[in-house]
Amino acid sequence: MRIAIKNGLVIDPANKIEKKLDLYIENDKIVALGKSPNGFAADQQIDASGKYIFPGIIDLCARLREPGLEHQASIVSETKAAAAAGITTLCQPPDTNPIADTNAVIELIHQQSEHAGYATVLPIGALTQKLEGKQLSEMAALKEAGCVALANVFPMQDTVVLRRSLEYAATHDLTVFLTPQDYNLSLDGCAHEGAVASRLGLPGIPSAAETMAVGRDLALIEEVGVKAHFYHLSTSRATQMIARAQYDGHAISCDAAAHQLFLTEFDLSDFDSNCHVIPPLRTERDKEGLRHGIKNNTISSICSNHEPWDADDKAMPFCATEAGISGLQTLLPLTMKLVEEKVLTLSEAIARLTSGPASILNINSGSLSLGALADVCIYDPNIEWQLTPDSLISLGHNTPFIDWYFKGKVIQTLHAGKIVFQEHL
């Protein structure tokens, strides 16, 4: 299959391109950018006049609920939603059921994502067996099975085990994804510890829960020399600490969830359980600190931290509800709002969704380079639309962004040279 995408504004931060160019695809690869290859006869031509063409989005954290919770969502349902949002690669954390600490689970995830065909799902393996933080996982076998990184997801209490796991991961040249959360300080909390939580009577999680964990982990990273990534920063202070470590030359990266860049503790005032997230929504100052970190590239990736839940899981008293937001279909719209608000340039915004996460994972993706896999998003910046329950393709409708208005919409998504989403206008 040969496809020509013509007359669009190509935005490819990895190659420093922001220019009106034509893109040519043959089978599953990009074969030319600009001038048509000799003898190229397109089977399909797409007119992208007035639209943006950029690499498919890479989401560093999306729980697809399979294996284990298929009654809530599945790899098929959530990768279909991802395709509608311009996402062509997703990282699945290891807290599946069973835990992703064996080759069999990793192979199942690969098989199901290949069968679905909407996007590539990259499994992140468990750092410790059953994520219990007691015994190291079979890291070499997990890497061989196709894990792009390791994570423990839950806060690790035993510092000795954490250190040994980092040392072992370093010997296998594996990136470790760390959860910056102190176990004891965050236990049973469901909101940011501050005036809002006190007024609402909600148990709080202090900012120190994050900064203490980051401080401990940075000390171990410096000693061990492992390549490490911090999941979902929520505080300004932790962002500053990581910026300093990066300045000192340590191989450290971090991300922020898109909702943390727009919501604060004040959004909890009416006990909206869709705002129950971990880490919790923080202060206005923290939100601005995260935005500053994204602007200066301390935070090199924005992710969805997608967690789809049933309506019943969000229908209980605030702290009794499950934490998490269904975030796949708001990842790109919220990131583009940062462009509208002049926090990021257009190229910087696309970089935080493509080349930034690709660099963290050390994968050959997130660009429109010649020979690269043809993962492409075609985006119309002029369409205005409102997020409604009917517009959500994900089986999880737990989002606080219902009724928000956005400008700009994905028109087509190509994964490995095949059109996996087409907006019907």
- Same-domain pairing of 47 and 64: no
Dump pLDDT digits (tens) for 371-404: 999 999 999 999 999 999 999 999 999 999 999 9
Closest CA to 205 of 223, 182, 229: 182
Judge whether 367 lies within some domain. Answer: no
Q: Give the integer Cα–Cα distance in Å for 18 and 176.
A: 33
Are residues 22 and 155 located together in one domain of the fold?
no
CATH of the domain at 388: 2.30.40.10
- Average of pLDDT values for 119-146? 97
Task: Give the whole-angstrom CA distance, residue 71 versus residue 116.
Answer: 17
pLDDT digits (tens, 9 = 90+) for 4-56: 999 999 999 999 999 999 999 999 999 999 999 999 999 999 999 999 999 99
**Domain, as residue range, for 9:** 2-53+373-422
* Residue 102 and residue 217 in one domain: yes
Tell me the pLDDT tens digit for each residue of 264-299: 999 998 999 999 999 999 999 999 999 999 999 999
Nearest to 265, CA basis, from 318, 337, 341, 335: 318
SS (H, E, C) 101-112: CCHHHHHHHHHH
Q: Are 21 and 133 found together in one domain? A: no
Count CA atoms closer than 13 A to 327's CA, side-chain side: 28
Model confidence at 424, pLDDT cuts 50, 70, 90, reads: confident
Residues 136 and 68 grouped into a single domain: yes
pLDDT at 425 over 70: no
Taking only the tens place, the pLDDT of each residue in 311-362 is 999 999 999 999 999 999 999 999 999 999 999 999 999 999 999 999 999 9
157 and 197 together in one domain: yes
279 and 390, same domain (yes or no) = no
Specify whether 65 is located in the same domain as 40. Answer: no
User: Burial of 405 by CB count in 10 Å (0-12 exposed, 13-18 middle, 19+ buried)?
Assistant: exposed
| Contact predicate 338/349, CB 8 Å | yes
Tell me: do 61 and 146 sit in the same domain: yes
Structural domains in the chain (count): 2
> Both 47 and 137 in a single domain?
no
Q: Which residues contact 150 (CB under 8 A, 6 or more apart)?
A: 94, 124, 125, 126, 127, 137, 139, 142, 165, 169, 174, 175, 176, 177
Residue 296: CB atoms within 10 A of its CB come to: 10
Return the percentage of the chain with pLDDT > 90, whole number: 98
Side chain identity, residue 16: K
Q: Is residue 389 part of a domain?
A: yes
Residue 231: CATH number of its domain? 3.20.20.140
- Distance separating alpha carbons of residues 251 and 237, to the nearest angstrom: 19
Residue 34 placed within a domain: yes
Asked whether residue 170 carries a pLDDT value surpassing 90, the answer given is yes
Confirm whether 368 is domain-assigned.
Answer: no
Both tokens of residue 392?
A: 């959500």
Residue 287: inside a domain: yes
What is the overall mean pLDDT for the chain? 97
**Angle of CA points 305, 311, 317, to nearest 5°:** 90
